Amino acid sequence: MIYLDYAATTPVDKRVSERIHQVLTTEFANPSSVYQAGKHQKHQLNQARNQLKQLLNAVDYDAYFTSGATESNNWAILSQAMKARSLNLGNHIVATAVEHPSVNSVLAYLETQGFEVTYLAPKKERFSAEQFIQASRKETIGWVAMWVNNELGTRLPIEAIGAAAREYVHWFHVDAVQALGYSMVDLSTIAVTSLSGSGHKFYAPKGIGFLLYQPWNPALTLSPLLHGGGQESGLRSGTENVPYILGMVHALELTKESDWQHSQDLSDYLFERLNALKIPYQRNGKDTVPYIISLYFSDLLASQLLIQLDLAGIAVSAGSACSAGSLEVSHVLKAYYPNEEARHHQTIRISLGRDTTKADINALVETINELQERKQTLWHSQQKQL
Ligand code: PMP
């Protein structure tokens, strides 16, 4: 398989799986056990927690391990919204209209619970802190924005939005899932109250993630979603998945700035090849990261392209893989390009990773080109018959 869908998930790095295997087989004690082996695991867990904070320059934050970003997003948003309302601070939230379902479904749920949510659409393909400020009023409690959009690869101005959030609202949640792994996330330079991440987007396994939390208002403490044995300072019960936690933190440690340059080189190469073959396309989004590339082909349907690429053994996505195998029109494309129906149906997402090669890009471009040529031949023969 030629895998060009790293934004959906990444393979587990061999060094990470070796670390996990070691913990699974030889250091398997429960970190809550009071004997030495248990205490050793507790120590490893706390070390991993500190290392995570250091890697993200978030030493003043609390770090909690979760089952992934879906849980972290649910937990942070529900908790802060409910707590702020119980303190009579308000019931209005401002969020972008292009969040992942693990965020926008939580917001939709909050709307059923009496909260009001304003969803911001991009202006000229960009979001700004100004939009958040203008949508806010006295009863606005919090803002929500993702760092990098998972479908288009657009980078949101989190630094500016965070700085404004500190002035205007009580909390600011950031879904950083698609930004982690490229030394981009540095919490010493941005203002957020909560930030979520997911291991399987940076070469760790699925089913492990984290939430960083630091309230601006000390009364806005987190409330647990899961009640039980009191793990994670009583806020996230359930025996800790130490093998995956240690694996995930090791995976984050292994991420390199050069991964960004690698994607940049391959992305440049992709555009060079598409241009050389005169394949008509447009890249969706502005201020994009190099590793997520959303392409609109003016002559090709995404559904046809996906089938053709799949037959050639090439894995790419139409919208977000997380909307579970459906080819429903993406809410992200709709928000960015409200009046361009063709674009909604003719866009694919290519996402690059550490193991992507120029040969992978060549195979992709050749398959797209074949389909393009076949369509043109068919079109010419139909014209002749008319
Ligand atoms: N947010 C974004 C931006 C994502 O891309 C994803 C995964 N596709 C998630 C949240 C959910 O993460 P997880 O799979 O760990 O629940």
Give the pLDDT confidence of 221-234 residue by residue, as tens digits: 999 999 999 999 99
Residue 84 has pLDDT above 50, yes or no: yes
Measured in angstroms, how far is the CA atom of residue 320 from the centroid of ligand 1? 10
Amino acid 196: pLDDT = 98
Residue 290 has pLDDT above 50, yes or no: yes
Pocket test for ligand 1, best of 10, 65, 156, 198 (most atoms within 8 A of CB): 198
78 in ligand 1 pocket by Cβ < 6 Å? no
Pocket test for ligand 1, best of 322, 332, 349 (most atoms within 8 A of CB): 322
Amino acid 327: pLDDT = 61
Measured in angstroms, how far is the CA atom of residue 223 from the centroid of ligand 1? 22
More confident residue, 174 or 381: 174
322 is catalytic: yes
Give the pLDDT confidence of 238-255 residue by residue, as tens digits: 999 999 999 999 999 999
The catalytic position among 322, 323, 345, 375 is 322
The whole-number average pLDDT for the span 186-200 is 97
The whole-number average pLDDT for the span 190-199 is 98
Residue 321 has pLDDT above 90, yes or no: no
**CB contact burial 262-283 (16+ within 10 A = b; e otherwise):** bbeebbeebeebbeeeebebeb
The whole-number average pLDDT for the span 101-121 is 98
102 in ligand 1 pocket by Cβ < 6 Å? yes
Give the pLDDT confidence of 322-370 residue by residue, as tens digits: 444 556 899 999 999 999 999 999 999 999 999 999 999 999 999 999 9
- In ligand 1, the atom with minimum distance to the C-alpha of 201 is 7
Residue 38 has pLDDT above 70, yes or no: yes
Beta-carbon contacts of 9 under 8 Å, excluding residues fewer than 6 positions away, are 200, 201, 206, 321
In this prediction the pTM is 0.96
Question: Looking at ligand 1, which residue's alpha carbon is closest to its atom 16?
Answer: 70
Measured in angstroms, how far is the CA atom of residue 308 from the centroid of ligand 1? 27
Confidence of residue 319 (pLDDT cuts 50, 70, 90): low
Question: Looking at ligand 1, which residue's alpha carbon is closest to its atom 10?
Answer: 69
The whole-number average pLDDT for the span 129-145 is 98
Confidence of residue 318 (pLDDT cuts 50, 70, 90): confident
Residue 297 has pLDDT above 90, yes or no: yes
Amino acid 208: pLDDT = 98
Tally of residues, the chain:
386
Confidence of residue 113 (pLDDT cuts 50, 70, 90): very high
Measured in angstroms, how far is the CA atom of residue 17 from the centroid of ligand 1? 21
Residue 382 has pLDDT above 80, yes or no: no
Three-state DSSP string of the chain: CEECECCCCCCCCHHHHHHHHHHHHHCCCCCCCCCHHHHHHHHHHHHHHHHHHHHCCCCCCEEEEECCHHHHHHHHHHHHHHHHHHCCCCCEEEEECCCCHHHHHHHHHHHHCCCEEEEECCECCECCHHHHHHHCCCCEEEEEEECECCCCCEECCHHHHHHHHHHHCCEEEEECCCCCCCCCCCCCCCCCCEEEEEHHHCCCCCCCEEEEECCCCCCCCCCCCCCCCCCCCCCCCCCCCHHHHHHHHHHHHHCCCHHHHHHHHHHHHHHHHHHHCCCCEEECCCCECCCEEEEEECCCCHHHHHHHHHHCCEECECCCHHHCCCCCCCHHHHHHCCCCHHHHHCEEEEECCCCCCHHHHHHHHHHHHHHHHHHHHHHHHHHHHC
